[in-house]
Amino acid sequence: MRTVLMVAEKPSLAQSIARILSRGNMSSRKGLNGACSVHEYTGSFMGQSAHFKMTSVCGHVMTLDFIGKYNSWDKVDPAELFSKAPTEKKEANPKLTMVKFLQVLDAVLPVMNKPPSTERTIFRAKFSSITDTDICNAMNHLGEPNRNEALSVDARQELDLRIGCAFTRFQTKYFQGKYGNLDSSLISFGPCQTPTLGFCVERHDKIQSFKPETYWVLKAKVNPEKESSLTLDWDRVRVFDREIAQMFLNITKMAKEAKVESVSKKEKVKQRPLALNTVEMLRVASSALGMGPQHAMQIAERLYTQGYISYPRTETTHYPENFDLKGCLRQQANHPYWAETVKALLSEGINRPRKGHDAGDHPPITPMKAATEEELGGDGWRLYEYITRHFIATVSADCKYLQTNISFSIGPERFTCVGKVVTSPGFTEIMPWHSIALEESLPCCEKGDLFPVGEIKLLEMQTSPPDYLTEAELITLMEKHGIGTDASIPVHINNICQRNYVTVESGRRLKPTNLGIVLVHGYYKIDAELVLPTIRSAVEKQLNLIALGKANYHQVLEHTLDIFKRKFHYFVDSIAGMDELMEVSFSPLAATGKPLSRCGKCHRFMKYIQAKPSRLHCSHCDDTYSLPQNGTIKLYKELRCPLDDFELVLWSSGSRGKSYPLCPYCYNHPPFRDMKKGMGCNECTHPTCQHSLSMLGIGQCVECENGVLVLDSTSGPKWKMACNKCNVIVHFFENAHKVRVSPETCELCDAALVDVDFNKAKSPLPGDETQHAGCVFCDPVFQDLVELKHAAMRHPMHRGGQGKRQGRGRGKGRRPGGRPTPKKPKDKMAALAAYFV
């Protein structure tokens, strides 16, 4: 019996598909990586009996990156990233061991049983919804993976990596080395991200440059009956000259009656909406539901994997001829909110949806099964409700209404009033927010009728500037200019928010920050094509041609990189132009921040710059030192590093989180070969420094394989030890007077012993004893005094239900500083590890 391996993109999807194909008769087990399950069942594949193994990946399996040495910002010229720097595909999340768990395509082929040369072994199943019909139909019409589409994705990845990293590294280092209040940890550039920001700044510039103009409008009211009035609109709309406006007012005031010049009635149609695609869904989610694009996309994906809607990433607004519209509609026939409308459509006959655009990807977004507000709740329900109402509207009738226009003359001037009466509400019954706005009821009249003029007045008004772009308007502009895809548009918008280039104001309007404005103005000053959508739009067209097999992958890649490489060199040579704008908006490093700790070189105070990225700057030496982010920094007891005489600082993630001291110089310039940039004292291998790993390390981490639990000597009286690699924190010996790490080690597990001095009044020791030395993990006296109370975050290596794992020591079982690397104590470690399960 042959074995068939099937892989879905998410664990929940794998479970749903396996349940459908096995008709519920399957066995399930956890995979070796603990994150993905394997569902097994027996069935038929291409006319033969087969044993199926259904599993999944968790997001992207591989990602593109530069090889190791080219990831150093300090040692690599960004210009080398365009051609010299080799790239490689790496595991997107190594801690999931996804490649080991599931070797995909090229890596799987070598270990597969070799079939006859004419027989295919790799298939792709295409479906757009998690329904029995769609899944079974996909299995009966398997195709091959499209190599051209894969090459198009590879080209886009490599272009974005090389171009984005080169510009980002250069401008980040250049500007963060000069200014202290940029308030952004990364001054990023992206071929799609930057034009997206450009749209926002362009609108900002229009607002700033706008000069209001005064204009005048004539407003007239007539009285068809004694107690009723009708407001008329001036056919000239407005005039910008006050004297002329006053003249028109004087002329019309001379007339006492308004004469009906014409009455016209015309039946008009408001068309039902096109079928729903991703971009329109994101627009409505932002403008009507108040959801950001990325948040809306996450909710839509969840609704899809749960089987409530069809695949939410599609550019298509046209249903294929064989799409079961009635079947989808019947699913909603008993829904309490729209059952009546749906039943009427099914009995009277549905209308064929309007002909839209067929992009050849997936059908429009469609509800696949009924759901209630209680079932989905919150934003999930709100998005599902909109998708369902939109679908019902596409198969409903158009809205029809009768529009009446009455034209009046008051003296020589013409005025008009318009009235609308709905004759058939059509789709607006299910989408009431699209209903025809109610107008004033118009009197029955004919040409030549006269009505007394009730009032004529001249209104003085001013033109108003445009408002900041909404997310919905930005999405429209991105789609129009070909910036990003339906899948990446939310990512680009989210990026400019995360980088502090724009802020989201009320009404989900995007207001550029000073940084965003200066960057865009700088690009315009140096090379406008870096921010205009034209060049990226042209690149996207080439990438689409690769996917269609009409353009050569290597030629497109080489040509595009050559263009941007030339632009990069010109940008570097002309950076002074952007710097002039930066100088006006931001403060130099020397004028930013507050004095905190002393420099080891000049012994003057360095300033702590709290704005992102937080760092220390010595204005005398003109040196800047990076610090750990997303925490607080304070001076550490005025103690100094024995290697360079810099005062130590203490980083803390919060009152109950991790904290550790660090030397600003060592953190940026590792003093030992086995250290890397960004390591604090809790990872320092100095053999005698009282703050180093060598002196404070206790035992190997219960969660990760490479971490060591290090005593936090500042944590008393609520003492704790924390892993120097992951986020595990172990609390112990609460209210102890002093805790010290002994040079001796445990005979059972090789962990360092600890000496604990307890306060006499609160000592847990027998009798009058207040001191005890022993192993945190093995000593029975300490058994009840060690408790895993808190972990700031669940460590990503956690594997539910696996229990203890064996760790590996550093180099022949020795800890830095000469102590043996401790083994993981079996019983206590298993108990602590089980706390996470």
DSSP string, 588-601: BGGGSSEEEEE-TT
Summarize the confidence of residues 713-720 as an average pLDDT. Answer: 86
Q: Give the gyration radius of the chain's Cα atoms.
A: 35
Which residues contact residue 393 at a Cβ distance below 8 angstroms, ignoring those fewer than 6 apart? 272, 273, 427, 430, 431
Res 128: pLDDT: 87
311 is catalytic: yes
- Amino acid at site 104: V
The C-alpha atoms of residue 625 and residue 615 are separated, in whole angstroms, by 6
Domain ranges of the chain: 2-58+93-145, 152-210+466-586, 214-268+402-462, 278-396, 589-686, 696-793
Which residues contact residue 470 at a Cβ distance below 8 angstroms, ignoring those fewer than 6 apart? 286, 287, 507, 508, 509, 510
pLDDT digits (tens, 9 = 90+) for 630-646: 899 999 989 999 999 99
Query: Could you tell me which CATH number the domain at 214-268+402-462 has?
Result: 2.70.20.10
b/e 238-260 (16+ beta carbons within 10 angstroms → b): ebeeeeebeebeeebbebeebeb
Summarize the confidence of residues 586-614 as an average pLDDT. Answer: 91
- Amino acid at site 531: V
- 827/515: higher pLDDT: 515
pLDDT digits (tens, 9 = 90+) for 754-786: 999 987 777 777 777 888 898 988 888 887 777
CA distances from 111 to 89, 108, 729, 785, 816 (A): 20, 6, 42, 51, 41
Summarize the confidence of residues 79-96 as an average pLDDT. Answer: 88
- 799/699: higher pLDDT: 699
Task: Categorize the per-residue pLDDT at 57 as very low, low, confident or very high, splitting at 50, 70 and 90.
Answer: confident
Q: Is residue 92 over pLDDT 80?
A: yes
Res 113: pLDDT: 57
Task: Categorize the per-residue pLDDT at 530 as very low, low, confident or very high, splitting at 50, 70 and 90.
Answer: very high
Tell me the angle at which helices 471-481 and 278-287 cross, rounded to the nearest 10 degrees: 160
Helix (H, G, I), strand (E, B) or coil at 532: coil
Q: Is residue 562 over pLDDT 80?
A: yes
The C-alpha atoms of residue 682 and residue 702 are separated, in whole angstroms, by 17
The C-alpha atoms of residue 107 and residue 100 are separated, in whole angstroms, by 10
pTM value is 0.80
Q: Is residue 34 over pLDDT 80?
A: no
Strands 399-410 and 257-270: antiparallel
The C-alpha atoms of residue 389 and residue 395 are separated, in whole angstroms, by 10
CB atoms < 10 A from the CB of 285, how many?
28
pLDDT digits (tens, 9 = 90+) for 703-712: 777 899 999 9
Element (H or E) spanning 624, and its range?
strand 623-626
Q: Which of 41, 311, 386, 660 is catalytic?
A: 311
Cα 588 from chain centroid (whole Å): 32
Which top CATH class is 152-210+466-586?
A: mainly alpha
CB atoms < 10 A from the CB of 480, how many?
10
Query: Could you tell me which CATH number the domain at 278-396 has?
Result: 1.10.290.10
Of 221, 243, 249, residue with least CA distance to 458: 249
DSSP letter at 713 equals T
CA distances from 283 to 278, 296, 501, 750 (A): 9, 10, 21, 60
Helix (H, G, I), strand (E, B) or coil at 338: coil
DSSP string, 741-784: EEEEE-TTT-PEEEEEEE-GGG--SSTT--EEEE-TTT-GGGGG
- 77/715: higher pLDDT: 77
Mean pLDDT (the chain) is 87
The C-alpha atoms of residue 726 and residue 728 are separated, in whole angstroms, by 6
Which residues contact residue 815 at a Cβ distance below 8 angstroms, ignoring those fewer than 6 apart? 693, 694, 697, 708, 809, 821, 822
Summarize the confidence of residues 588-614 as an average pLDDT. Answer: 91
Q: How buried is residue 144: exposed, middle or buried, by Cβ count under 10 Å (0-12/13-18/19+)?
A: exposed
- 119/833: higher pLDDT: 119
Task: Categorize the per-residue pLDDT at 32 as very low, low, confident or very high, splitting at 50, 70 and 90.
Answer: confident
User: Was domain 2-58+93-145 assigned CATH 2.60.40.10?
Assistant: no
CB atoms < 10 A from the CB of 226, how many?
6
pLDDT digits (tens, 9 = 90+) for 187-208: 999 999 999 999 999 999 999 9
CB atoms < 10 A from the CB of 629, how many?
11
The C-alpha atoms of residue 795 and residue 791 are separated, in whole angstroms, by 8
